[in-house]
Structure 1
Amino acid sequence: MDVLSAARRVIDEGPVCDACLGRQFADRSFGLSNSDRGHSLRVAVALEDDADFEEPNEECWVCEGLTDDFEVYAEQVADALSDIDFETYQVGTRTPPLIEENEVLLRDLADLPEDTGELFKSEYNREVGKRVGALTDTEVDFERPDVLALLNLERGDVDVQINPAFVFGRYRKLERDIPQTEWPCRECGGSGKQLAEGGGEEPCDYCGGDGYLYSKSVEELTTPPVLDAMDGDEALFHGAGREDVDALMLGTGRPFVIEVKKPRRRTPDTDALEAEINEFADDRAEVEGLRLATHEMVERVKELDASKTYRAQVEFDAPVSEDDLANVVEELQGATIEQFTPNRVDHRRANLTRVREVYDIDGHLEDETHGEVEIHGAGGLYIKELVSGDEGRTEPSLAGLLGVGAEVTALDVIAVEGENELFDDDEYLRE
């Protein structure tokens, strides 16, 4: 393509601003704005034609003057974000249909190749974007910015989208009968109400009118201080698996991420926030190692293939000797366990046989009918069923090998360890 001849054809199609002229040839030179490129082409065409150089004195029929408003929109964006804490941004543009039609018409009238130049919205994104960066002293991020400003040129305004922020840590649950996340009542669906015999509504008998099966959860004990510190609209709790409601989570704690929707503050003091959460939880739960994290950490936590170590208090139906327990423990050391979906969860789990490993196991008796076992097993190993046998649904089991009924009376998780995962990887954490 002869660039000067093509530029001449564009100029001849009526009043076209420098930006719209230069945009048609954006892929033919670099280091210039489209406006500077268009001006240079206009000068070059005038010199080649031995004509007087003239700036267009009418509004551009292609963009209808919108390329004069880069600064205006940048200031609108900066103003819309003035109360938002952010470090990275991206700008998007919703182009009016008429401008898109004009752009196509110009290229058709000037007989320009389809694969040259730049889209109008690409120029707008870039030109407004670099001005936003200068006004706010922040950096553009095309992958996952803290905020996205969408320019609506048809309406003449700006929509701001605030992307979520994330806090990573580990929690310990220090009180039994607390679920990890809110647990709505399955009878009333969380409404706390049921139909009364004579019509109307009355408090749900199953949950007592609370709408929840448990009054508190780890989520409710940890998210409010984070939501308040980050001034967001909503907080979501993501855990690396979950322990039974009646089990404690002790030792090294369980990895979690709290996701805050539409945060107006993204960089709270995590040490102070950790202290606030622990005070708020009032000894029912506690957190440690609180760090700001990236979006990728959510999937990293949710998909963690973690092994776990449990400590279980066990009650036997008949007397057991230390030698018998020791022999069974030795037999379960390193054993492969087949577990058909346990009776207690078959209403919410698919019926299938899971194969899991016991990595390590130790145990001792406290008296003839009570003992304690510590088990390090693969993720997904059902510990209560490994002890009881679950009516033959778990093979082998402690009860089955002993030939004596056994039941877990108290269960503690004392370690959750990522297999080949490092949660202190800076790629997934923010300073």
Structure 2
Amino acid sequence: MSDKDASKDNPDEEEDWMSYANAGFGSTDYSLWDDEGQEAKITEEPEWNEENLQLDTGEEEIPAAPRPAGLKHLVRLGSCNHCLGRIGGKKRFGQSNLESGVEIRASVVETDSTMAKAREESPLCPFCENLFEEAPLLAELIKEAIGERDCSRLQLGARIPKDQTEAEDHLRKRFGAGGSDPLKSSLVEEVARQLKDLGYGQNLVVEKPEILALIDVLTLTVDLDIRSHYVYGRYRKLER
């Protein structure tokens, strides 16, 4: 009798390879048919198109402007009219940020009268920290700093703390409309508009200035960087 025939006659002597398996095949008690009778729960999403939607629970995700609920949240935060117009996404052609912000606030108060005192309850704007209210003062400081200097090309700049710009950038991207202007450029634009009212608007440029007026918003001061003037000439000795 050969070895093969002996192994067939004695099956108990064969090694059971399944006893060495550690994958755990067939060892689970989970059944695919246990939840057969249960129905999936469907959660309805809130409709943000309703203008009278209240965000009192704080559990809903607040949409960004210019959706009605997003504009209402901007008013609730205590945003100033300049920032409402700047990040609200409702500004029309030829309209200033202030004018657009006034319209947005009026429309929100019309739908919810409780928002009328939101600015009084939160007097500090979370986006600009009321810097736009200082624009007329900054324009006056620039005018006084220039004084009697003859300037045909004036450029404006602003120095804003990094933490303030980062915080404003985060809030603007979270709650503001897409493509909204940042704080720095909007503040410079507002100061330039105030300078136009003072008679300096025709001299404002964006490159190659004769005088650069740098605004420090932390101390509300203005530093002038005056560009040097060079006179070209040549010497000609016509007589001895």
Normalising by structure 2, what TM-score?
0.62
Q: Which runs of 5+ in 1 are unaligned?
A: 175-249, 251-282, 285-431
Q: Aligned to 2:101, what secondary structure does the other structure show?
A: helix
Aligned residues of 1:78 and 1:136 also touching (Cα < 8 A): no
Aligned residues of 1:133 and 1:139 also touching (Cα < 8 A): no
Q: Aligned to 1:106, what secondary structure does the other structure show?
A: helix
What is the match of residue 224 of structure 2? 160
Aligned residues of 1:93 and 1:153 also touching (Cα < 8 A): yes
1:144 and 2:208 equivalent? yes
1:41 and 2:104 equivalent? yes
Relative to total residues, which structure has the larger helix share, 1 or 2? 2
What is the match of residue 10 of structure 2? none
Relative to total residues, which structure has the larger strand share, 1 or 2? 1
**Alpha-carbon distance change, 97 to 2 in structure 1, aligned in 2, over 3 angstroms:** closer
Aligned residues of 1:16 and 1:62 also touching (Cα < 8 A): yes
Distance in 2 (alpha carbons) for counterparts of 1:90 and 1:108:
28
Q: CA deviation at 1:155?
A: 2.4
The AA in structure 1 aligned to 2:73 is R
Please provide the CA RMSD for this pair.
2.7
1:83 and 2:148 equivalent? yes
Q: CA deviation at 1:28?
A: 4.7
Q: Aligned to 2:198, what secondary structure does the other structure show?
A: helix
Residue of 62, 65, 82 corresponding to 2:130: 65
Q: CA deviation at 1:23?
A: 1.2
Residue of 116, 129, 146 corresponding to 1:54: 116
**Alpha-carbon distance change, 9 to 52 in structure 1, aligned in 2, over 3 angstroms:** closer
Q: CA deviation at 1:27?
A: 8.0
The AA in structure 1 aligned to 2:116 is E
Per-residue Cα deviation, 1:150-185 (whole angstroms, up to 9, x for no partner): 00111221110112324344442x3xxxxxxxxxxx
Aligned residues of 1:90 and 1:142 also touching (Cα < 8 A): yes
1:8 and 2:72 equivalent? yes
Q: CA deviation at 1:42?
A: 1.3
Number of equivalences: 172
Higher relative contact order, structure no. (Cα contacts within 8 Å, ≥ 6 residues apart): 2
Normalising by structure 1, what TM-score?
0.36
Q: Which runs of 5+ in 2 are unaligned?
A: 1-63
What is the match of residue 100 of structure 1? 165
What is the match of residue 22 of structure 1? 85
Q: Aligned to 1:91, what secondary structure does the other structure show?
A: strand
The AA in structure 1 aligned to 2:185 is S
Distance in 1 (alpha carbons) for counterparts of 2:116 and 2:90:
25
Q: Aligned to 2:149, what secondary structure does the other structure show?
A: coil
Per-residue Cα deviation, 1:270-320 (whole angstroms, up to 9, x for no partner): xxxxxxxxxxxxx78xxxxxxxxxxxxxxxxxxxxxxxxxxxxxxxxxxxx
What is the match of residue 182 of structure 2? 119
Matches within 5 A, 1:12-411: 12=76, 14-25=77-88, 28-47=91-110, 49-51=111-113, 54=116, 56-57=119-120, 58-110=123-175, 112=176, 115-137=178-200, 138-172=202-236, 174=237
Aligned residues of 1:43 and 1:53 also touching (Cα < 8 A): no
Q: CA deviation at 1:43?
A: 1.2
